[in-house]
Structure 1
Amino acid sequence: MSTTSEAAFETAIEYHVLEHGYIRVDRDGFDRERAIFPAAVLDFIRATQPREWFRLEAFHGSHTGDQILTDLCKWMDANGALATLRHGFKCYGRALRVAFFKAAHELNPELEAHYARNTLGITRQLHYSPRSEKSLDVTLSLNGIPIVTLELKNPLTGQTFDDARRQYRRDRDPREPIFEFKRRTLVHFAVDTESVWMTTRLAGGATQFLPFNRGFDGGAGNPPDPAGRTYKTAYLWEETFQRDSLLDLLTRFLHVQTDEKRDDQGRQARTESMVFPRYHQLQAVRTLVEAARTEGPGNNYLVEHSAGSGKSNTIAWLTHRLASLHDASNQRVFDSVVVVTDRVVLDQQLQDTIYQFEHKRGVVQKIDESSRQLAEALESAVPIIITTLQKFPFVSKQLLKLSEERGAIGTGTLPARRCAVVIDEAHSSQGGETATDLKEVLGGEALLKEAQRRVVEEGREDLEELFREMAKRGRQANLSFFAFTATPKHKTLAVFGRDGQPAHRYTMRQAIEEGFIHDVLQSYTTYATYFRLLKACDDDPNVERKKAARALARFLRLHPHNIAQKTQVMVEHFQTVTRHKIGGRAKAMVVTGSRLEAVRYKQSFDRYIHEKGYPIKTLVAFSGTVQDDKLPDVTYTEEGMNLGIREKRLPEHFATPEYRVLLAAEKYQTGFDQPLLHTMFVDKRLAGIQAVQTLSRLNRIHTLKEDTFVLDFVNDRDEIHDAFKAYYEGATMGEEVDPARMYAIKSEVDAFGVYLAEEVARFTEVYFKPRQRQSALDHQAMNAALDPAVSRFSARLEEGPDEAELWRGKVQAFLNLYAFLSQVIPYQDSDLERLYVYLRHLATKLPRRTSGAAYEFDDEVKLEHYRLQKISEGSISLKEGEARPLDGPAEVGSGALREDAVLLSQLIDIVNERFGTDFNQADQLFFDQIVEAAMTDESLRLAAAVNPGEKFELLFRNVLERLFVDRIDQNEEIFVRFMNDTPFQKVVTTWMADEAYRRLRADGLAATAPSEATTPQLRLVDGLPASRYVTCVPFVPLRAAAGAFGDAQHVDETEFEWVELETRHRLRRGMFVAQVVGKSMEPQIPDGAFCLFASPVTGTRQGRTVLVQLRDAADPETGNRYTVKRYEKREGGGWRLLAPLEDHSHARESGFRADHHCQRQCGRGPGDRRTRGSHWHDATYGGR
């Protein structure tokens, strides 16, 4: 019988490492007081440094060994084992090494020979303590110095890595010589056959372990061995502890990190930690380094690492490796490494980390002064340069100035150099002309040579600057980009990825499951604002719809009652819940929609907190100055409202116990790292990547932080889910942008006739002049070449502003597409580059359409009704649903079209509809009544008979607005809260216009050609059809009748047959066909008809369903059996059952909407008012 003991696990590890270069080190040779293997240490020094040994022996004689060991241990106690392993120690003035490591190249045979003499040893059951016989399962040593310990557990005997961690915490005294921080062993692993965890510092019960797992299916854990031959954790000893790998870790990865933070009393606290890379960090750096070594310069690499991945250290390790990287021919791969970042903490961390590796200064230079400083560093080929992207546009001029100061004639370009560019947060660094300037500067002479090559090929010396401009956009042979981001955009994946995939990925899901960040969607509460506005002035002015609607929305958002109500909700939640979190130290952030809102909220918070006497202090964050139209003589600044706290000091003050709430407008929503931030109150529209970045401010971990909380006044849960889901298990690139589309847009831009080809040529001839021929007159010449097109556009703007604005949008679309595609596709079309440069400058000169005066409705409008209501709470699960691929750049632009003028009273009604309450069944009846009323309008009847649908909608809009105004008092809760979503007015107008047009056209056709009317067909199909929800829906075999209200029943659509049907409705998931049996209150639905139902829908009758399976019992409400019942909403709430209609014409006059309710949380849709056959009724009904 095979053994399943822990000893067998030890044996498997030992067997493998002994087979791969390790030696077995006898545990009896361990000096427990010194915590080393003395014989192994002395053997190594004697064998590799005989000259030093001989000289020391001449002085110390037989005591040489003891003296060396004494000085070595003192040195390690003072400087640490890691520094001693790397740099050696001194014994009586003699420098001795206890390990040799590989150089970046292989040009030193002596060093290579010394490296080969390193001895890695394994010891099982090492008795390490001078005071007891406790033993370690496995100890790894280097030349007699213990560096790694392992505690092994075997799940087959009922123990796991948790038991190993508990053993380290409870049974391994950190004061033992072998465990003293930095002085001996460097890292400790808790290992079972499934999982690996590590720590670099034992601290009793406070010991912190980190996972060292590979990740599995986008989450935590380890995959099974694909060959089925070994443990899931075998990578630890087969890969990580492999001889070259472990020595590489010691020399190029492990380092001591010092953090300085202020404690609760504001005092500076300094902590040290030993950093050992997590598995994904180690794998990412080694993967990228090996790719750069074999592929050389000229390639792009994307690293998609979530927050919590330890990106700063990964960048530091990668940067150091790239700066010293040599290829197979022992030639340096890169002359310089440029790190592009906006994070001020990264430069010091890089300098400190690399100093430990190199033990010399000057390897890293931070560019924090000017573009001249950057030009000097680049010219001097500083190994590692840290800078921001914004300094590159000015480097060429600085290079020219430096040449002039030396009395030389310069070209403004760098000599031929190979550079690695490491980009921190790539999603904000790969687009625009600034990024292109970086490529131009670092491209240097290589760009110049490429341009000259094209000159020779095409025989056009006058186009050298044009060819250079084209070359700088694409991939360059002397530049490699290593782009890091947690939230890549489509452009990021396309530009830096390989086939849309990153070179390495560490997902948000894995970071959450491994405990490095919090899942900020675990506790997510949404509120909705319901309100009604009234016109408070006597006159009724005409206003531009969209601009005035925005002004009305702003009126509500800034209304004192709105702010006061939300302030109360937020402050009370903070006082009762948040304040007690994280050991009573939790903080909150309020995300506001504008700077003025931040000012108003700051005032409202402070006033409410003062009135209540709560021990809470707030800070506000916004840029620039703000003026409140309520107090035009007062100017607000961040520093002034924060009582003198300067902008740069705000994070530091917010970290103190004094301040608990930060109210922010467009600040601190990316890159802000505050672990005590527990709660976020959101009063701003968030979407896509912005939602992920903003809400992720909460995800930082803290020892006492157990959860987070979001209270959202604006956003929809489903949209937040979709935004996070795109990055939860790694981003995927959607459909690639078709390059042919750019040429199609170019043709549309050309055809508008704003510019002439000769004007483009004249402008670009000046723009692309060789630098030595440029003069002060060039500026006026370029403006003169643009002015004719500006004049033509101005004339077109007067004649047809909508068309002119659409053209402006297409110009922007062309610019966006070319700027993106030219980074991906090596275009050789110089005409495209000319047009791009011309249009980029023309776009800045084109006049804007006058937007008219801004609207202020403080006196014209008043808030009549206001209600703030909790809509949902609980977790938004990211494990459900499918991730949406990231979309590419828009193919077409859009201009700002002028809105029709409407009466202020009408607009108020429309805004009430857009920003009001949720739909219910009565609302649906209300909409249908409006459509029915519109059908009685003779002008609409005539318009439907002679116009296509698009023109009919234009006329319908005017009638619709009147109908809404006429009926607004019939339904006070028809306002739906779609703030900042697809405009409610547009959706409703389009739907109602289509519905009225269809019905009017159908009426007309039926009256003139009744014989041509067709009966829709319904046909069963075999199996599961491919055209599900296109032409087919499930057939639910229930005989339905409206009866008593009952509980909902789940129905699985895969259990049913499917039917193919003819319908004018656009089918969607959730629709199905069922048969209704019995007499209907609406005569258009005959007994036995098959009807199309839709789900889901909002609005319920006490949360129950009313479409139920047919029973023998009669309907308890009527005593009859009805398929459809009619209800009317009562004033003050409740429902009243209406009498049956007697004929179809009466149904038309009443204009009611029949609502079916089904067992699977059904929905509603636009209903058909006509009977279209006795067996198949082409209408959509629904309910919940």
Structure 2
Amino acid sequence: MSNGRHTEAAFETVIEAHLLQNGYVPVAREGFDRERAIFPETVLAFVRETQPKEWAKLEALHGEKTGEQILGDLCKWMDQNGSLATLRHGFKCYGRTLHAAFFKAAHELNPELEARYAANRLGLTRQLRFSPRSEKSLDVTLSLNGIPVATVELKNPLTGQRVEDARRQYKQDRDPREPIFEFKRRTLVHFAADTESVLMSTRLAGSATHFLPFNQGCDGGAGNPPDPAGRTYRTAYLWEEVLQRDSLLDLLARFIHLQIDEKRDDRGRKVKTESMIFPRYHQLQAVRQLVEAARSEGVGRNYLVEHSAGSGKSNTIGWLTHRLASLHDTANQRVFDSVIVVTDRVVLDQQLQDTIYQFEHKRGVVQRIDESSRQLAEALENAVPVIITTLQKFPFVSRQLLKLAEERGESGTGTLATRRCAVIIDEAHSSQGGETATDLKEVLGGEGLREEAKKRAAEEGRDDMEELFRSMAKRGRQSNLSFFAFTATPKHKTLAAFGRPGLDGSPQPAHRYTMRQAIEEEFILDVLKHYTSYATYFKLLKACEDDPNVERKRAAQALARFMKLHPHNIAQKTEVMVEHFQAVTRHKIGGRAKAMVVTGSRLEAVRYKQSFDRYIQEKGYAIKSLVAFSGTVVDDKLAGVTYTEGGMNHGISEKELPEKFGSQEYQVLLVAEKYQTGFDQPLLHTMFVDKRLAGIQAVQTLSRLNRIHPLKEDTFVLDFVNDREEIREAFKTYYEGAEMGEQVDPARMYAVQSELDASGVYLDEEVERFCAVYFKPKQRQGALDHQAMNAALDPAISRFTVRQRDDKEEAELWRGKVQALLNLYGFLSQVIPYQDSDLERLYVFLRHLAAKLPRRKRGPAYQFDDEVRLGYYRLQKISEGSISLQDGDARRLDGPTEVGSGLVRPQPVPLSQLIDVVNERFGTDFNQADQLFFDQIVEAAMGDDGLRQAAAVNPGDKFELVFKNLLETLFVERMDQNEEIFVRYMNDVPFQKIVTAWMASEAYRRLRSATVDASLEATPRALPPRLRIVEPKPTERYATCLPLVPLKAAAGAFGDPQHIEDAGFEWVAVESHHRLRPGMFVAQVVGKSMEPTIPDGAYCLFRAPVEGTRQGKTVLVQLRNALDPETGHRYTVKRYESERATDGDSWRHTQITLKPLNPAFEAIIFIDADDQQLQVVAEMVEVMANET
């Protein structure tokens, strides 16, 4: 027989009892005003008791209606400004400000404030009937001074109901139009809870209500652990900790935040949205733990926060920043004079600064340093409470501090008065290393560093070493600086510098929120869940007659580059990517999904952009792409041609690109070393990877996909390059939290130092001489110091140069040891308080010596344009599905070690042997019989009259469509000759595509070659004497010989000149005063429109692409949507003239005129022309007349 102890009511009773025993008061549900959604008597009692003077003055005006006047004005104020602002700042009643609550002061120096805080009435009401229209009730309602602030719906698994039922109740049975639920006007947060789990929402919106997990996490994942003492529920933290009296008041005073976002919609209009932000459990716990540690431990400590993507890091940093800025210790003294938020990005993180700035603060408390280092220096001097800046500004602050002192007529030292600072570092894995981070410590260390150095110099009787001791002190921990380092992917040195010893003695973060928990709580998506891998199989053929010896490593890299940039490779991968986007990706996220293509180099990004646009245009797909890379890219295949990001994106600036990509106009972003970290685009669904990724870079790059969106259900990765197991290992390291591997032994550093000292490259007196100048006090520094330091370095430079000449490998090994010492000391000096002044001197000397050492001598890069060609190619899907992170051990983080020179002794090998090695690694299973079989089919195809005609008049892609129709018949006719290949061709679709593409290309090449031969033989005009048909050696191509190309072929199918030499055209020896080079070709121009400059039928020398401006030059143009009125062809040779209009930093064509020189012919005119209408292929540089 049930005694009621296992019911939901019993669960409510437990919570009620705990809260009433710990500062809450019971508030009767009968006293609730359902229309106004307040407890009127509690409101009035609070105002009367805590603000008697104001009450008396209002009572003198309103008499018995005083209470009603106050309640009416309070409700109007909350309806207009929200309950949160009302609780924090009060409300106006007849010109007087009344307080709705009193919150705890940052210190305890004012007894009156303490008494007011104690007067707050936190009320608890069970089964509150909240609606004016029904008798529905809420399980638990919490109120502050009569204003409801939180509701809780409880469920009891013992009676068959769970937290999901509570969530469903809020969504289906709680009308958001009810006064108590109206967004921001009354209750601020709603909890759905059972004995196992808690969910939280700040806005009820019917079926669209979104609840967030509000759990502690369990064993590195989601959920809650059982109570260690076995005495209470898993969810007891909700009422024992979060809703505890002081905690809830603190949440209302300092955490809950009305966030206002302003974005542009698809029409470009600004749209504002409001969200009530309530901290998730791990955010609340992290901030409170860090603040309490700073209060009790004081200044001079380091704290590491390892929070995964999806943790809400910006908000966590924002809350921590404001809490530290007002933090007082147990003696009621301010702990920090300033809180400095530092990001490693060159441009100040907009989201981070906006978040911190939006959090409630007084005017002047927060300053964003988004201008200059002078602005930072002024903020530091003035001890602005909160400063947000970038790491890159600190190296210049000392100089600015001196300037500021000079402007005041003072003799400054370039340092700050010693101040206690909290430094919050965003993306700490990339911010704590190097000299820039040391500059930060030096600037903020202030006069304290100087005093410490002066004291030690006095102790050792060496006043001349004060600057040296100061240099040593700035590397280690500073007694006036506390660092709070945030990262999702800590490195070994991050843990060593900011972690604190765990139970096993290894450094651990102060707080951790794992990738696994973020995925399981659905704050990020699992980017490895849908992961498809492709493999590229190919065979390279030696195309040159000789077999030159090449250096193995560099030549292998050149072969890999040759393959990566080969047009066929890029075209095949482009087809796979675009077709996947068209068939799958574009339908995701409500038809708004986007994709990113990660390329291996800037030139690859350029080639892929061109290939994407070309393929998309051919297919007529409604897809538009953008490309992102830094600087200017030089195409080594096209002399004089350069590319920039803005140019390829039609004038879209780097700053505009993220917003443009977020619009509905663009769908694909191709990147090279950009947007792989810190890029937040929730619409990004698919990533195509054609770049080697490893370790932390793999995690950061692929994690661009993990942002959530209401319509985003999954992600997709298509990887052409990386091994699935390596990707798994990279993610596994951070899946449940990074752990440190073997710690660095300082003895290794001293061993390297001994080897360097014994090498004889530098002498002790040279180190001493350099450091005597380098560490001069500022007042003794002079104009000749630079000269003296260089003179001290030069003897070592000379000795190294001799060693480099005599034994290159030994010299590079020595260089590697120098770098090893710099790495080890730079790392260990942050962790261990070294007192070794000799080591500091050597470090400074070697750091400058390393920068001045002669660079490694490398030969010119190999280019295998003529020596190698692609024989076979196959792109094949090899695996798909999820990469699981549940099993296996995580790889630990390793620290810096001694390093070698990075130099491998050159190993000369014959080119043919190297090609065999490459083919063995990447080759297909085609054998000689297969090759003969393919050749026979190609030869048979060439006998088809229709195919010959198609090759003569069509570009390659159109020819392939005709060839494909014939090919299956040819295979069937020869099935008995090679049954294995036949069966595979008929059943293996990827294989079929590759074979068809290769054979069509080969047939087209041979047929075009035959066509050119026939046209040359049939032409009534003989070649001029300056042109002779030859069979050139590879070394003569583009040196004394050029391809003879039909004009149509040059303009159309071979519009990219790098394809010309592969197309089977004849070569001609050329006598010209122009220097021949790749990109040049000879073509016959037929027609009279360019007479008299170009006679009808004249042979001309062309150069692709056009160098410099096109204006006024005679050019070969491919027409996209127009015809030459003289010939009826889609190509023409004309003089190019254009008119342009500028728009800020960009420009556009308003008119392009292709002008004939013969007045009897009409010009071709394009208005508002763009690349879709025409392509300028080459410029005419010389008419090859009969006379030499």
Q: Deviations over 1:427-482 (max 9, x none)?
A: 01000000000000000011011101111221110000000000000000000000
Counterpart residue number, 2:442: 440
Counterpart residue number, 1:793: 800
Q: Conserved in 2, the CA contact under 8 Å of 1:527 and 1:872?
A: yes
Question: How much has 1:630 moved relative to structure 2?
Answer: 1.9
Is 1:560–2:567 an aligned residue pair?
yes
Counterpart residue number, 2:639: 632
2:339 to 311, 318, 337: 337
Q: Conserved in 2, the CA contact under 8 Å of 1:735 and 1:888?
A: yes
For residues 373 and 220 of structure 1, the distance between their equivalents in structure 2, rounded to whole angstroms, comes to 44
Counterpart residue number, 1:209: 211
Q: Deviations over 1:700-738 (max 9, x none)?
A: 001111111101010000000000000000000111000
Matches within 5 A, 1:81-96: 81-96=83-98
Matches within 5 A, 1:272-421: 272-342=274-344, 350=353, 357-358=360-361, 360-421=362-423
Question: How much has 1:753 moved relative to structure 2?
Answer: 1.2
Q: Deviations over 1:343-377 (max 9, x none)?
A: 6685676566556533x221111111111111001
Question: How much has 1:269 moved relative to structure 2?
Answer: 1.9
Is 1:679–2:681 an aligned residue pair?
no
For residues 911 and 342 of structure 1, the distance between their equivalents in structure 2, rounded to whole angstroms, comes to 41
Counterpart residue number, 2:741: 734
2:25 to 18, 23, 26: 23
Counterpart residue number, 2:843: 836
Question: How much has 1:632 moved relative to structure 2?
Answer: 1.6
For residues 477 and 926 of structure 2, the distance between their equivalents in structure 1, rounded to whole angstroms, comes to 54
Q: Conserved in 1, the CA contact under 8 Å of 2:539 and 2:924?
A: no
Matches within 5 A, 1:504-653: 504-653=511-660
Report the AA paired with residue 603 of structure 2.
Answer: L
For residues 95 and 657 of structure 1, the distance between their equivalents in structure 2, rounded to whole angstroms, comes to 49
Counterpart residue number, 1:262: 264
Q: Deviations over 1:561-581 (max 9, x none)?
A: 000111111111111111111
1:149 to 138, 148, 151: 151
For residues 637 and 318 of structure 2, the distance between their equivalents in structure 1, rounded to whole angstroms, comes to 51
Matches within 5 A, 1:648-727: 648-727=655-734
Question: How much has 1:634 moved relative to structure 2?
Answer: 1.7
Question: How much has 1:793 moved relative to structure 2?
Answer: 0.3
Q: Conserved in 1, the CA contact under 8 Å of 2:318 and 2:359?
A: no
Q: Conserved in 2, the CA contact under 8 Å of 1:528 and 1:871?
A: yes
Matches within 5 A, 1:1111-1130: none
Structure 1 residues 348 and 556, CA, compared in 2 at 3 Å: closer, same or farther? closer
For residues 644 and 576 of structure 1, the distance between their equivalents in structure 2, rounded to whole angstroms, comes to 30
TM-score (norm 2): 0.77
Report the AA paired with residue 438 of structure 2.
Answer: T
Q: Conserved in 1, the CA contact under 8 Å of 2:311 and 2:513?
A: yes
For residues 50 and 635 of structure 2, the distance between their equivalents in structure 1, rounded to whole angstroms, comes to 77
Gaps of 5+ in 1: 921-971, 973-1184
Q: Deviations over 1:375-430 (max 9, x none)?
A: 00100000100100000001001100100111100000000100000000000100
SS in 2 for 1:857: coil
For residues 854 and 240 of structure 1, the distance between their equivalents in structure 2, rounded to whole angstroms, comes to 64
Counterpart residue number, 2:486: 484
Structure 1 residues 577 and 345, CA, compared in 2 at 3 Å: closer, same or farther? farther
Counterpart residue number, 2:769: 762
For residues 579 and 12 of structure 1, the distance between their equivalents in structure 2, rounded to whole angstroms, comes to 52
For residues 410 and 310 of structure 1, the distance between their equivalents in structure 2, rounded to whole angstroms, comes to 42
Question: How much has 1:918 moved relative to structure 2?
Answer: 9.3
SS in 2 for 1:420: strand
Q: Conserved in 2, the CA contact under 8 Å of 1:725 and 1:878?
A: yes
For residues 239 and 297 of structure 1, the distance between their equivalents in structure 2, rounded to whole angstroms, comes to 27
Q: Conserved in 2, the CA contact under 8 Å of 1:174 and 1:204?
A: yes
SS in 1 for 2:656: helix
1:13 to 5, 15, 33: 15
Q: Conserved in 2, the CA contact under 8 Å of 1:797 and 1:804?
A: yes
Structure 1 residues 230 and 123, CA, compared in 2 at 3 Å: closer, same or farther? same
For residues 137 and 567 of structure 2, the distance between their equivalents in structure 1, rounded to whole angstroms, comes to 70
Matches within 5 A, 1:191-230: 191-230=193-232
Matches within 5 A, 1:1089-1100: none
Question: How much has 1:633 moved relative to structure 2?
Answer: 2.1
Question: How much has 1:909 moved relative to structure 2?
Answer: 1.9
Matches within 5 A, 1:645-1044: 645-916=652-923
For residues 795 and 695 of structure 1, the distance between their equivalents in structure 2, rounded to whole angstroms, comes to 47
Counterpart residue number, 2:136: 134
2:120 to 110, 118, 121: 118
1:430 to 400, 422, 432: 432
Structure 1 residues 356 and 786, CA, compared in 2 at 3 Å: closer, same or farther? closer
Q: Deviations over 1:875-924 (max 9, x none)?
A: 0000011101011112224332331222222222222233335999xxxx
Q: Conserved in 2, the CA contact under 8 Å of 1:320 and 1:354?
A: no
SS in 2 for 1:448: helix
1:64 to 59, 66, 71: 66
For residues 695 and 348 of structure 1, the distance between their equivalents in structure 2, rounded to whole angstroms, comes to 21
Counterpart residue number, 1:102: 104
SS in 2 for 1:632: coil
Is 1:242–2:249 an aligned residue pair?
no
Question: How much has 1:268 moved relative to structure 2?
Answer: 2.3
Question: How much has 1:749 moved relative to structure 2?
Answer: 1.4
Report the AA paired with residue 685 of structure 1.
Answer: R
What RMSD, in angstroms, separates the aligned Cα atoms of the two structures? 1.4
Question: How much has 1:265 moved relative to structure 2?
Answer: 3.1
Q: Deviations over 1:1107-1164 (max 9, x none)?
A: xxxxxxxxxxxxxxxxxxxxxxxxxxxxxxxxxxxxxxxxxxxxxxxxxxxxxxxxxx
SS in 2 for 1:249: helix
Structure 1 residues 799 and 293, CA, compared in 2 at 3 Å: closer, same or farther? same
Count of residue pairs brought into register by the alignment: 920
Question: How much has 1:649 moved relative to structure 2?
Answer: 0.5
Q: Deviations over 1:278-313 (max 9, x none)?
A: 000000000000000011110100000000000000
SS in 1 for 2:474: helix
For residues 589 and 166 of structure 2, the distance between their equivalents in structure 1, rounded to whole angstroms, comes to 28
Counterpart residue number, 2:41: 39
Q: Deviations over 1:614-670 (max 9, x none)?
A: 111100000011111222222111111111111110010101111111100000000
Q: Conserved in 2, the CA contact under 8 Å of 1:147 and 1:187?
A: yes
For residues 651 and 12 of structure 1, the distance between their equivalents in structure 2, rounded to whole angstroms, comes to 52
1:455 to 451, 454, 457: 457
SS in 2 for 1:631: coil
Question: How much has 1:539 moved relative to structure 2?
Answer: 2.3
For residues 86 and 145 of structure 1, the distance between their equivalents in structure 2, rounded to whole angstroms, comes to 12
